Amino acid sequence: MVFTRTCFRAFTFSVALMASGLAHAEDVRTIKIAFSVDVLDDTQNAATQAMHKRVDELNASRKDVKIEFDVYDAQGSVDKQISDVQTALIKQPNVLIFSAVDSVGSLPAMQAAKDAGVPILDRRPTSPVSDLTTVAFYSSDENRYSKATTEWIKGYLKAHPDSVLKIGAIYGAPAQTAQLLRIDAIKALAAEMPDRIQFVAEGYGNWLTATAQNLSQDWLLAYPDINYIATANDIMALGVSNTLISAGRKDILVSGYDLTPDGVQRVKDGTQSLTIGTSIADNGKTIDVALGIVDGSFKDKTYYLDPVYAVDAGNVDDFLAGKIK
Amino acid sequence: MTNLTGSAEHGGIAALRRVLLLNKAVLFALILAVVLSVASPYFLLQQNIVALLEQIVVMTIVALGYTLVLATGEIDLSVGGMIALIGFVIAKLMTTYGVPVPVAIIAGMALGAACGALNATMVSRFGLPSFIVTLATGALFTGILYILSNLVPVSNLPPGFLAISRTKIGPIPLPVILLVPVVIGFYVVATKTVFGQHVIALGGNPEAVRVAGINITRLRLKVFMIAGACYAVAAVLLTARSASAQIGAGSNLLLIVITAVVIGGTPLLGGKANMIGTLFGCLILGMISNGMNLLGVNANYQIAVQGLLILFALVLDIESTKLLLRLDKRSMLRRRQAGAL
Amino acid sequence: MTTAPLVELENISKAFGGVQAVDNVSLTVSPGEVIGLLGHNGAGKSTLIRILSGAHTADSGRILVGGTEATITSPKDAKAIGIETIYQTLALADNLDAVSNLFLGRERRRFGIFNDRRTMVRETTEICAQINPRFTNLQTPVRNLSGGQRQTIAIARAVYFNARVLIMDEPTAALGPGETAMVKDLIQQLKSKGVGIILISHDIEDVFDLADRMVVMAGGRVVGRLNTHEATREQVLSLIIMGAETKPNPAAARP
């Protein structure tokens, strides 16, 4: 009898253990996040790293969820991106983070996700935002970049009441129209204050250091009064800064975008005047938004990555020390 | 007697026409220089000439090696990937591993030669067209670069390395001076050596070269390895000039270099290696870009002009070859008639 | 003829995939002798001469040169022992001139790496003057030359490098009557100098004019060996076409 009772106790105990084990397993929810990235270039790669880091942090700190994060690199091919998303959907993700190779060409990929009932966090939203998009995520918002640029220029002109900016503008690649806004905002400002800002030259640097370097070298000769070369990213700003170093010119402003570590370092060294952008490290927030979509806590249609920094000689030390937030 | 002098004079004009057609790049470059010096007051400034030369050094060194490749009738699409990879490896060796500058440069050249050897071996061993092989290896090189670099450029290069592009002798930057012996070297190789002769013959008729007992596999290997070493030198200069190894470095070079070589008179199908033409082809492309910048030509027009120029070069290549053939035929006919008399 | 053969091919066989291109073929060439090698396309003539010239290697059989066994694995080996080949295509690089073509692969060098162009021009001029005095366009690309002039270069190459055995594949196929006569004359000259010649031709009249002996191949085998002065055109044609003689004439065949 004693034996049976003990047996029974042991039995109930083990059942309880099993049940609690099951309950525990149910508590930890697995959330699958798929990320289809257009091309893992310099910036996208850094952003992806930040997301990985955030996933690791969350997996370590939150006991109730286990995040699985898969990245698919479309390598700049629309076709591959469509296949990538097909593959990703087979694993039934809870949310798809999407960065389109081409806003039109990549639509079938988004449609497939929508049809599968997977919400889409769109990291390269079109304008207007596609119906297929659940949340439009702006990591580099051209409008706010433009605003930060014009604010900085206004501040500069206020601090230098006698100076007139003679600008040479270096765009990226001609086919990518969104980035043209960055410089267009300066143009709009020039139209407002023609006596303070004038455009003297424009060219394409094709996002290449060497090309921007040649272009700015030629400009120094052709436009001796040029005093500000605005480039569409830090990679091209490096080319301009190289030109200025070898020409021994320290009187010319150089600006770039993206807040790359090299760009920020050049601002610190004084060979670049300004770099504007969101911090790549902040891209980990994509994961938080994605989780918010999955658990219903994020209800907005858009998300702007905050903040947009304008790093110049005045605040670069604080920025590097992590004091600017 | 009178007849003889008459035909000699005629021959003189035909010869001149031949020389001009064979050196159309030189002629074109001269015309362009005259036009630009009239159009822009800055063009002839010493400072601009120096800048122009500085801007074409990388392109020219790549193009000289490329001329050998095209002369054999092959093509190399891996040049962009190779340059970026080599630039990265050199920079990484110097910064992360503290390898001395000259050692890193030699390692880069060895890597370039090895990449070239891979291309040549794939072509020879498996009988694949170089077009396909180098398309694939180019992707391979780029992929390896992405894996190794994680797409992060390398900066903070040692001052000794940056000095390569920043040192000036008088007003002339070191790379421009370096270009002179390289051009002469390639000119001598192409025109005076047995190797150059075999390269050109290979582009003319591979079967003839094979039955002549020349080892084509080894010949091709040498050509691609020399080209790879050239790309490595270009990668060194580009990295030094950019003061950093950029992931996208050299990605624009392929089309530019092919255009320059073809304008220079080395046909796409091989059988000729005009090194001086290649130099002038690069000068032409450099002048067009520099000139349009000086003249403030709208950036969108610059792209169209470059496209037109490439088409023009290709048409000129075909047409001048035909014209040369016609001229040769005619003079041959005259000689035969003269012989018959 | 008591002279020892220059070259002896013994029981040569070569298969490509399942096809026996050359099947147990033997052939000898003596100094000053012209052998006419006849047969349809695909009879195995080309494969046989490619084996002798080093472009292919035989599966079995051996090659004796001057009585001793020779290993020929590349065109270079064949040239080194004095076997020169003039291909039907002539194997000239069209973009190079006569001088460069004549010396292709065997350039006169200075300091080991440089072309000794001056010497090569001089020697080309000399050799071409002997062979075809009217051919003087030595420094224009050969693509601009006539068929006879191109043939002159190919022959000059063989003469200059002291060919002991010369293989000629369809030497007159692309030539006009005047040029054909010139090439025939050249073959007679070489023959008188003691060069052994293997002549492949579709033109049976050429072969009857030039050859001392004829060897007819069909289906990779030798189907007939004839002495020219004993042979009739009907006999040869039926060997080529039927692979056998309508009227067997064993007395004419030599082993």
Residues facing residue A121 across a β-bridge: A97, A135
The fraction of chain A above a pLDDT of 70, given in percent, is: 90
The tokens for A242 are: 């190289």
Q: Taken in order B120, B125, B130, B133, is the CA torsion positive or negative?
A: negative
The tokens for A258 are: 């993206």
The answer on A211 and A161 residing in a single domain is yes
Beta strands C34-38 and A228-231, pairing class:
unpaired
pLDDT of A16 higher than 60: no
Q: Are C168 and C199 in contact (CB under 8 A)?
A: yes
Are chains B and C in contact at 3+ CB pairs closer than 8 Å?
yes
Across the range C46-59, mean pLDDT stands at 90
- pLDDT the model gives residue A321: 87
By CB atoms closer than 10 A (0-12, 13-18, 19+), residue B28 is: buried
Which amino acid makes up residue B38?
Answer: V
Assess C115–B contact: CB distance below 8 Å, yes or no.
yes
Domains identified in chain A, total number: 2
Are chains A and B in contact at 3+ CB pairs closer than 8 Å?
yes
- Residue B103 C-alpha, separation from nearest chain A C-alpha, in angstroms: 25
Buried b / exposed e over A226-237, threshold 16 CB at 10 Å, is: bbbbbbbbbbbb
Which residues in B lie closer than 8 A to residue C96 (C-beta atoms)? 197, 200-201, 204
* Per-residue pLDDT band at C247 (split at 50, 70, 90): low
CA distance B183 to B270: 19
The answer on A77 and A125 residing in a single domain is yes
DSSP character for C252? G
The tokens for C45 are: 């003539």
Sheet holding A165-171, edge to edge: A197-204, A165-171, A228-231, A253-257, A274-278, A308-312
Q: Are C171 and C158 in contact (CB under 8 A)?
A: no
pLDDT digits 0-9 by tens, C71-103? 888 888 999 999 999 988 888 999 999 999 999
Q: Where is average pLDDT lowest: A14-28, B114-128, B237-251, C54-68?
A: A14-28
Coil, helix or strand at residue A129: coil
Assess A174–B contact: CB distance below 8 Å, yes or no.
yes
CA distance C99 to C118: 10
C75:B272 CB<8 A = no
Coil, helix or strand at residue A64: coil
CA distance B260 to B69: 14
Q: Are A190 and A199 in contact (CB under 8 A)?
A: yes
Q: Are C168 and C46 in contact (CB under 8 A)?
A: no
pTM of the shown model: 0.79
Assess A22–B contact: CB distance below 8 Å, yes or no.
no
- Return left, alpha or beta for A211; rule: phi > 0 is left, psi -120 to 50 is alpha, else beta: alpha
Which residues in B lie closer than 8 A to residue A239 (C-beta atoms)? 242
pLDDT digits 0-9 by tens, A166-185? 999 999 887 666 677 788 88
- pLDDT the model gives residue B340: 46
The answer on A294 and A242 residing in a single domain is no
Are chains A and C in contact at 3+ CB pairs closer than 8 Å?
no
Number of H helices, E strands in chain B: 14, 2
- pLDDT the model gives residue B89: 97
| Largest distance between two CA atoms of chain C | 64
Query: Does the residue A314 lie in any domain?
Result: no
Degrees to nearest 5, angle at CA B139 with B134 and B142 = 120
* Per-residue pLDDT band at C254 (split at 50, 70, 90): very low
C95:B271 CB<8 A = yes
The answer on A290 and A205 residing in a single domain is no
Coil, helix or strand at residue A277: strand
The answer on A172 and A111 residing in a single domain is no
- pLDDT the model gives residue C246: 55
Check which CATH number belongs to the domain holding A125 and give it. 3.40.50.2300
- pLDDT the model gives residue B301: 82
CA distance A132 to A113: 9
Assess B211–C contact: CB distance below 8 Å, yes or no.
yes
- Give the start-to-end residue ranges of the domains of chain C: 7-91+163-252
Neighbours of B129 (CB within 10 A): 11
Assess A119–B contact: CB distance below 8 Å, yes or no.
no
- pLDDT the model gives residue C130: 84
Query: Does the residue A179 lie in any domain?
Result: yes
- Residue A288 C-alpha, separation from nearest chain B C-alpha, in angstroms: 24
**Helix axis angle, B275-295 to B46-71, nearest 10°:** 140
Query: Does the residue A3 lie in any domain?
Result: no
Name which of B188, B197, B202, B323 to mutate to probe chain C: the one with the most chain C Cβ atoms within 10 A of its Cβ: B197
The fraction of chain C above a pLDDT of 70, given in percent, is: 94
Number of H helices, E strands in chain A: 11, 12
pLDDT digits 0-9 by tens, A85-100? 988 888 889 999 999 8
Neighbours of C100 (CB within 10 A): 27
pLDDT of C245 higher than 70: no
- pLDDT the model gives residue B11: 60
* Per-residue pLDDT band at C3 (split at 50, 70, 90): low
The answer on A54 and A92 residing in a single domain is yes
* Per-residue pLDDT band at A26 (split at 50, 70, 90): low
Half-sphere exposure of C13 (CA within 13 A, CB side): 9
Coil, helix or strand at residue A309: strand
- Name the residue facing A208 among B252, B293, B300 (closest C-beta): B252
pLDDT of C249 higher than 60: no
CA distance B243 to B9: 56
Overall size of chain B counted in residues? 341
Query: Does the residue A164 lie in any domain?
Result: yes
The tokens for B329 are: 């035929």
The tokens for C70 are: 């020779």
Assess B255–C contact: CB distance below 8 Å, yes or no.
no
The answer on A88 and A52 residing in a single domain is yes
- pLDDT the model gives residue B62: 98
* Per-residue pLDDT band at A19 (split at 50, 70, 90): very low
B194:C92 CB<8 A = no
pLDDT digits 0-9 by tens, C18-47? 888 899 999 999 999 999 999 888 888 889
Query: Does the residue A59 lie in any domain?
Result: yes
* Neighbour subunits, B (≥3 Cβ pairs < 8 A): A, C
The answer on A251 and A224 residing in a single domain is yes
Query: Does the residue A274 lie in any domain?
Result: no
pLDDT digits 0-9 by tens, A260-295? 889 999 999 999 999 999 888 889 999 999 999 999
Distances A262 to B168, B223, B245 between C-alpha atoms, Å: 26, 38, 12
Buried b / exposed e over A23-35, threshold 16 CB at 10 Å, is: eeeeeeeebbbbb
Taking alpha carbons only, the member of C53, C63, C56 closest to residue C87 is: C53
Q: Are B130 and B119 in contact (CB under 8 A)?
A: yes
DSSP character for C244? S
What are residue A32's phi and psi, to 5 degrees? -100, 120
The tokens for B110 are: 């060895």
Beta strands C19-29 and C7-16, pairing class:
antiparallel
CATH number given to C7-91+163-252:
3.40.50.300
Query: Does the residue A317 lie in any domain?
Result: no
- Residue B109 C-alpha, separation from nearest chain C C-alpha, in angstroms: 23
Neighbours of B33 (CB within 10 A): 18
Distances A92 to A67, A107, A119, A229, C142 between C-alpha atoms, Å: 13, 19, 11, 48, 69
The tokens for A244 are: 């200025």
Q: Are A45 and B151 in contact (CB under 8 A)?
A: yes
Residue range of the domain that includes A290: 29-140+281-307
ipTM for the assembly: 0.84
Residues of chain B predicted below pLDDT 70 = 1-11, 332, 334-341
- pLDDT the model gives residue B1: 36
pLDDT digits 0-9 by tens, C181-201? 888 888 888 899 899 999 998
